[in-house]
Amino acid sequence: MAATTFHGMARLVAMGAGLTALLATAACGSSSGSASGAPTPDGKPKGTLNILVSSATGSDAGFQAVNKAFMAKYPSVKVNFSSVPNENYAQAHASRLTAGSIDVGLAGPVQLPSYVPSSNEGDDARMADQGGYLDLTSQPFMKKFNPTVLDQIKYKGKNYTVPTGLSYYSGMFYNKKIFAENGIQVPTTWTELMAACQKLKAKGIVPLGIGGKDSAGLNMLGVVQTLYPTAQAKEDLAKGLYAGSVKLDQGKQLEVLQKVQQLYSYAEPNFAGVSYPTMTADFVNGKFAMMSDGTWNTTTIQQAGGSKLDFGYFPLPASDNAADNKYLGGKVELTLAIPSNAKNRTAAIDYLDFFTNNYQLFDDKAGFAPSVEGAKSNPFYAQIAQYTGTFQPAWDTIWIANTKAGPNAQLPFNWAGIAPMGSSDAKGAAEASQKDWQAGLK
């Protein structure tokens, strides 16, 4: 997201008004694209190529590198690249899709589990069902991608999207110098993490930085990841919530918010007003020891800190069983799609082909764990290989929001209700979440 946070979490919010028009416009798009997208006599693309993505420092730089090289190879194409802050992306995507002014954009159709009512089906899934996105499954460039990654993003057996990489975001960046100077080892349990925070605070060092404006929810995702450490545990949680047999204000669910509240207590003062870029800059400048963040921010931190900053990354250990804290939760990053009403479909397909075959241009800047087989990754990923050997999906990639539930139960753990993000404590935030969730089951 500016590398916002759940990078894709803002897109969990439904596009809302205008969906019917979007579906009709996309599904009725010309199968050949407009004349402006017809290739030149030598078979090369031409015209304007409109690309719309959500904004993040690293991925924006990666796309710009690809765009420059693409236009150098195809001088008859002008790339019109737009990156929109995540909180504004859904609205921008909806309006531009309706107008037919997206040739390459983001999409992520997800097939609903059987326990989720069909009314909660996402806009991207409905778009795919109605022919709103091109089926890319048989495109030759798709063979370049890791097949296990493609399996993660298949929708009803087809690939409508191109994966730009992988990110892990249930962990914490930490300043190795601050840890070493204070005799702190990387914590592997919740008790060890709290002891480290207490030790740092006692010495006048802020333990944790949080970007309250746009990334505070990552703390919740980190806690959920290790309290529910497997995909099955998260699926059972989701199924139980939809069945009404699991309550958000009881047991381990309440524990999630209690631990989020404890993390907030060790954060920098007034963090609710801190932006993601400010949090990143403050970490680079050594103003606190740790921050919950996604690995998508790695390249930005490396470039800003240079050789003076030595940092690492570890799973947020919310469990006191170290085995539960072994792996990072992650997701397939920004996934690119071609709407069926794209006006320059020829250039769009050539762009995805070029992106795939020149993936290193993108990933050297974006810093994602690579999705293309054989691609060289940032050396940082070798440092955290012990946490990524077994891929574990993050909670927000499994959870399907209930559109009938209230605002306190959308993720559904109500991290935003806890002071200073909100006005309540963990118990009150959990009760509000359960009330809103229960209302959505009626």
93-145 tens-digit pLDDT: 999 999 999 999 999 999 999 999 999 999 999 999 999 999 999 999 999 99
Q: List CB contacts of 421: < 8 A, sequence separation 6 or more.
A: 212, 216, 264, 272, 415
Residue 279 inside a domain? The answer is yes
Residues 206 and 340 in one domain: no
Residue 2 inside a domain? The answer is no
Number of domains in the chain: 2
399-417 tens-digit pLDDT: 999 999 999 999 999 999 9
Residues 159 and 202 in one domain: no
**From the CB of residue 154, how many other CB atoms can be counted at a distance below 10 Å?**
14
- CB contact at 8 A, 413 and 388: no
| Structural domain that includes position 372 | 9-167+332-388
Residue 395 inside a domain? The answer is no
Closest to 174 in 3D by CA, of 163, 160, 184, 165: 184
CA 66, chain centre distance (Å): 21
Q: Which of 388, 413, 432 is the last residue of a domain?
A: 388
Alpha-carbon span 432 to 442, nearest angstrom: 16
Residue 293 inside a domain? The answer is yes
Locate 186 and state its tokens: 């990387």
Residue 1 inside a domain? The answer is no
Residues 213 and 232 in one domain: yes
Residues 16 and 129 in one domain: yes
Residues 163 and 176 in one domain: no
Residues 238 and 372 in one domain: no
Q: Give the CATH number of the domain where residue 232 resides.
A: 3.40.190.10
Residue 206 inside a domain? The answer is yes
Q: Which of 367, 388, 409 is the last residue of a domain?
A: 388
Q: Exposure pattern of 46-70 as b/e (b: 16+ CB <10 Å)?
A: bbebbbbbbbbbbbbbbbbbbbeeb
Q: What does the pLDDT read at residue 11?
A: 36
Residue 4 inside a domain? The answer is no
Residues 296 and 361 in one domain: no
- CB contact at 8 A, 303 and 309: no
Alpha-carbon span 137 to 154, nearest angstrom: 9
Residues 184 and 295 in one domain: yes
Residues 212 and 117 in one domain: no
Residues 229 and 305 in one domain: yes
Q: What does the pLDDT read at residue 15?
A: 33
Residues 177 and 321 in one domain: yes
Predicted structure pTM score: 0.81
Residue 22 inside a domain? The answer is yes
Residues 338 and 370 in one domain: yes
Q: What does the pLDDT read at residue 38?
A: 61
Long-range contacts of 299-307 (CB under 8 A, 24+ apart): 299/58, 299/61, 299/365, 299/366, 299/367, 299/378, 300/3, 300/57, 300/58, 300/367, 301/173, 302/367, 302/378, 302/380, 304/280
List of the chain residues with pLDDT < 70: 1-41
